[in-house]
Amino acid sequence: MMRSVRWKTTIFALLSVVLVTIAVLIGWGWHVSNKLRDGVLKPKRGVCPLDLEVVDFEKDQITLRATPQTQRDAWRRDGIWGLRWKEGYAQVGEILHMDDQKVVRKFLPLSGNLKHLDKVRLDEFAFPDDPQKAFGLPTQKVVFSSPLGDFHALYIQGRSSTWVIFVHGKRGHPPRKPLRSYPTLPAVTELGLHCLIITYRNDLGAPASPDGFHWYGLSEWRDLEGAARYAVEHGAEKLILVGYSMGGAIVMNFLHRSPLTKKVQVTILDSPMLDINSTIDFRARLLNIPEPIVWLGKFIAGLRFEIDWEALDYLSRAHELVTPILLFHGDADTIVPVETSDVLANVRPDIVTYHRVPYATHVRSWNMNPSAYETAVIDFMQEKGTPQIEH
């Protein structure tokens, strides 16, 4: 009798442990699925803080100091960056001196008045919001349509029959996300190309998708197709697509799905989101989240939010691509793993020209070496048949 009681007690204890373990795992998986919803699917909102302090500045150099709010390390990285404050804008460049708390950099004021102890922040876009002010390039606001509704775009007129369509990524303060294309605008317009800097669903001020989620190209490609159709209806005979981060995913699915792909002469991708699955695994490793918990979180997220993980793996369809691709990716990227671009370059060396940029973080290859980046873009376009228009 006693043996029977002990046996039942042991079984009950084991079952309790198993059930508690399962409950804990499901709880963790549910928690991770919430993080995936908030960090991956939901659009980002909010204003980036002014997280640096001006210690001193002269005509051509500035001393910046970190504050408790400083999160990113770009202020200590080489390259060309914007410097934004409440009422002005400047550029900072070469690092002249650096210690644990401060950095002295070359300084080029562009607008507004800066004062000692002003709060500022580094801006990866490197130029003011208005292309007219930044480069003397007149822009027009135009409207194109997709099945979801009407979308705004910035248009810069060219002189050829080729249009360049710029597709921004997810990260960044929403109203300024299209500015990622700005650094390359002078080089591109120099070739006489029309430029269309587009918005897409769930951007601030743009039509929202029914669920309000980003789908990394699975739905947004239709908005890009609407922009491409607008270009064709306004005289475009050839298209060049430029995608940054999530914008790269949108471009990839457009190339797979749209009949207008036949118009695309060249594709340029910068830190593209080629496989969201690999990106989530990469981020989880950086955060030391155990693989089983990540797998369970993705499984639960897939069920809760109807995520088609396989469809989001654009690398699996790389063999279908036919358009020449110029690919940039920084090897210090902590958002999208550079290894995904490595795979694309290795799988399709026949169409991919790859620039793996040392020390560049996410979508910061231009910032590290602007002239090299712009030269690569122009050379690639001309090599692939983009005509240079005489002035």
pLDDT tens per residue across span 294-313: 999 999 999 999 999 999 99
pLDDT for 312: 97
Question: Is CATH 3.30.360.10 what the domain over 131-275+312-383 is classified as, yes or no?
Answer: no
**Average pLDDT in the 120-132 region?**
81
Place of tokens 């009422």: 87
Domain ranges of the chain: 52-123, 131-275+312-383
pLDDT value of residue 129: 73
Q: Rounded to a whole number, what is the distance in angstroms from the first to the last CA of the chain? A: 101
17-21, 44-48, 321-325 — most confident range? 321-325
Residue 90: which residues within 8 A CB-CB, separation 6 or more? 62, 82, 83, 107, 108, 109, 110, 111, 114
**For residue 7, what pLDDT is reported?**
64
Task: Report pLDDT digits (tens) over 245-280.
Answer: 999 999 999 999 999 999 999 999 999 999 999 999
Residue 47 reports pLDDT greater than 80: no
| Banded pLDDT at 341 (limits 50, 70, 90) | very high
Q: What is the per-residue pLDDT across 167-184, written as a single tens digit (0 to 9) for each? A: 999 864 444 455 566 678
Neighbours of 35 (CB within 10 A): 17
pLDDT in tens, 204-251: 889 999 999 999 999 999 999 999 999 999 999 999 999 999 999 999
Angle value at C-alpha 97, between 92 and 100, nearest 5 degrees: 105
| CA trace torsion 125, 126, 129, 134 (10° rounding) | -140
Q: Is residue 280 packed enough to be buried (19+ CB in 10 Å), middle (13-18) or exposed (0-12)?
A: buried
Antiparallel, parallel or unpaired: β 119-123 and 102-111: unpaired
Tokens of 53: 């302090």
Q: What is the pLDDT of residue 172?
A: 42
Instruction: Give the separation between CA 81 and CA 85, rounded to whole angstroms.
Output: 13
How far is 300 from 304, CA to CA, in rounded Å?
6
Counting Cα atoms < 13 Å in the Cβ hemisphere of 158 gives 32
Q: Is 342 within 8 Å of 57 (Cβ atoms)?
A: no
- Which of 221, 109, 239, 54 is closest to 165 using CA atoms? 239
**Which residues, listed in sequence order, are joined to residue 92 by a DSSP beta bridge?**
81, 107
